[in-house]
Structure 1
Amino acid sequence: MGYAVVLGEALVDLLDAEYDGQPVYRQAIGGGPLNVAVAVARLGGDVEFVGSLGDDALAERIRAFLTEAGVGLTGAVTVPAPTALAVATFAGPEPDFRFYGEPRSYALLTADDLSVPLIEGAQVLYCGSIVLLHPPVLAAARRAWSIAGALRVFDPNVRTRLLDGPAALAVLREVVAEFAASAHLVKLSTADAAVLYPGEPVEGVAAYLRELGAGTVVVTLGADGALVAAADDVVRVPAPKVGAVDATGAGDSVMGALIAELLAAGEPVDPVGWRDRVAFALRVAGLVCESPGGATAMPTRAAVTARFPG
């Protein structure tokens, strides 16, 4: 079994919480791609995180957390910046993130920082998320995408707070189209789809991305499961019933589970294979939702099997 490379951001989340009757923020290591990398590792996959990390104590905690989780850091670089913070509040089903820290520690990776042999040797390459809003990291992602001989997976992971008006959204839409056009797999949420293609049903969004060239498109639908568009087959896969307490990282766990399955068994040969993979990924996400936190909630295969036997 080969390894995956996950290129993107790592940061620290400050999550809305309560302690002794007072509102507080609970610190959690996060970032969508970091969550993805941890999910892959916990599910038994070999994975390397590629991104820029700050030079402070918080960055050391991130490094220690990733190392403990079994995520490789060969492609991670240290930059002279404090670790970026994402403050999350929960007013609806999706957390609302506001980002703090200048320069953004996660946005300083450049194309020259890439280890070409690391990228070339990967079986799966993940790119996406908020780093693509920053030209230096976008250039690095483009270079990695172009040299990878791997299965390429993409997740826009849109954060509307970081989009400065219609022009920024238009640029992001172009970037999404660019990466989707040569992706083996695109995963996005209904929230992503609503921002990128307002008013378009998820089936239409999936069809559009496949017309661009994406091999398979998975749209997560929260408690309703996911839509899977593979070949000419478009189906909805139901989510398991769970006692959800925190959905942070659930979408990232779906992506991580799909990458772990690609590492373990390669690309499915037919739509049924994709449906089975997505059903497994939704079980992983269900277990994540039953625990507080994002990266810390990523389960092992044994835990998934124990929670959802059969």
Structure 2
Amino acid sequence: MGYAVVLGEALVDLLETQRDGELIYRQAIGGAPLNVSVGATRLGGEVQYLGSLGNDTLGDRIAQFLRQTGVGTAGVTRVPVPTTLAVTTFEGAEPTFQFYGEPPSYALLRPEDIDEKVVAGAAVVYTGSIALMREPFLAAARKAWAVPGPLRVFDPNVRPKLLPDAAAVTALRELVSGFFATADLVKLSAADAEVLWDGADPAAAAERILATGAKAVVVTCGAKGAYVATAGNPGVMLTAPTVDAVDATGAGDSVMGALVRRLLSDGVPAEPEGWQNYVRFALAVAGLVCERRGGAVAMPTLEELTDRWGALL
């Protein structure tokens, strides 16, 4: 089993909650790509994280957390700005994010920080999410994405709070389409699809993405499950396991982490049924994440997954 390279943001979530009748914010390490790194690692995969961290106490905590989790940090760059904060509010278990910090500490990875030999040696390269909306990170991600060899895995991870108008949505759609076109796998949420294509449902979104050149698409639909489609084959809606969700933060990222883990161990499925099996596994991971609080810290191990659902691999 080879390793994965993951590029994107790491930050600190401030999660809104109640304690003794008072509104407080609980600190949690997060950022979608960091969550993917941790999720794949805890499931037994090997991951090298490439990203920029602030040079403050919070940046130190993120770096320590990655090391303790077993995520490779040789590609981490420390930058002289405070760590970005994401204030997280909830409607039920579903989170909404508002970001604070300028320039964002997570988007300062430069093209010259990318070790092309590390990327070329990987079995999988992942990028995506809000870091792509800023330079120099976008240039760094494009450099890594262009390295031949690894499977390419992408997640747009749309955040409406960062899209003030229709022009911003159009610009993001054009940006992510460039990555879709050469992706072996695209994972996005139904909410992402609605923003990018004016209310498009999962099937319509998958069709659009496959038309760009992507080979497989997974659209997560919260408690309903996920829609899976591959080039030249009809899509299938898969149901999610029933859980008592308390916090959906990081659930979509855990799906991606689980898919990366399966790609590392078993490669690209030869048939659509193989992708469906991967996604069923990933939905079981996400269900367990939703039964816990906090993003990265909620990512389960294989042992915890087996304890909850039985044998899945």
1:115 aligns with 2:115: yes
Aligned counterpart, 1:6:
6
Deviates more, 1:168-177 or 1:8-17: 168-177
Question: Partners in 2 of 1:105 and 1:27 — Cα distance?
Answer: 17
Aligned counterpart, 2:103:
103
Q: Is the 8 A contact 1:125 1:148 kept in 2?
A: no
Question: Partners in 2 of 1:248 and 1:164 — Cα distance?
Answer: 23
Measured on the aligned residues, the alpha-carbon RMSD in Å equals 1.0
Aligned counterpart, 1:305:
306
Aligned counterpart, 2:144:
144
Q: How does 1:199-218 map to 2 (within 5 A)?
A: 199-218=199-218
Measured after TM superposition, the shift of residue 59 of structure 1 is 0.4
Secondary structure of the corresponding residue to residue 103 of structure 2: coil
Deviates more, 1:87-96 or 1:197-206: 87-96
Deviates more, 1:13-22 or 1:184-193: 13-22
Question: Partners in 2 of 1:306 and 1:216 — Cα distance?
Answer: 30
Secondary structure of the corresponding residue to residue 90 of structure 1: strand
Runs (4 or more) in structure 1 with deviation over 4 Å come to none
Aligned counterpart, 2:135:
135
CA deviation vs aligned residue, 1:44-78 (integer Å, no higher than 9, x gap): 00001111000001000000101111100111100
Aligned counterpart, 1:59:
59
Secondary structure of the corresponding residue to residue 16 of structure 1: strand
> Aligned AA for 1:299?
P
Question: Partners in 1 of 2:3 and 2:199 — Cα distance?
Answer: 38
Question: Partners in 1 of 2:127 and 2:63 — Cα distance?
Answer: 20
Number of matched residues? 310
Among the aligned pairs, what percent are the same residue?
58
Question: Partners in 1 of 2:13 and 2:131 — Cα distance?
Answer: 16
> Aligned AA for 2:305?
V
Structure 1 length-normalised TM: 0.98
Unaligned 5+ segments in structure 1 are none
Q: Is the 8 A contact 1:122 1:148 kept in 2?
A: no
Question: Partners in 2 of 1:79 and 1:49 — Cα distance?
Answer: 16
Q: Is the 8 A contact 1:16 1:23 kept in 2?
A: yes
Measured after TM superposition, the shift of residue 94 of structure 1 is 3.2
Measured after TM superposition, the shift of residue 241 of structure 1 is 0.7
Question: Partners in 1 of 2:122 and 2:187 — Cα distance?
Answer: 19
Question: Partners in 1 of 2:213 and 2:189 — Cα distance?
Answer: 19
Q: How does 1:1-310 map to 2 (within 5 A)?
A: 1-91=1-91, 94-231=94-231, 232-310=233-311
Q: Is the 8 A contact 1:120 1:149 kept in 2?
A: yes
Q: Is the 8 A contact 2:258 2:285 kept in 1?
A: yes
Secondary structure of the corresponding residue to residue 49 of structure 2: strand
Q: Is the 8 A contact 2:240 2:284 kept in 1?
A: yes
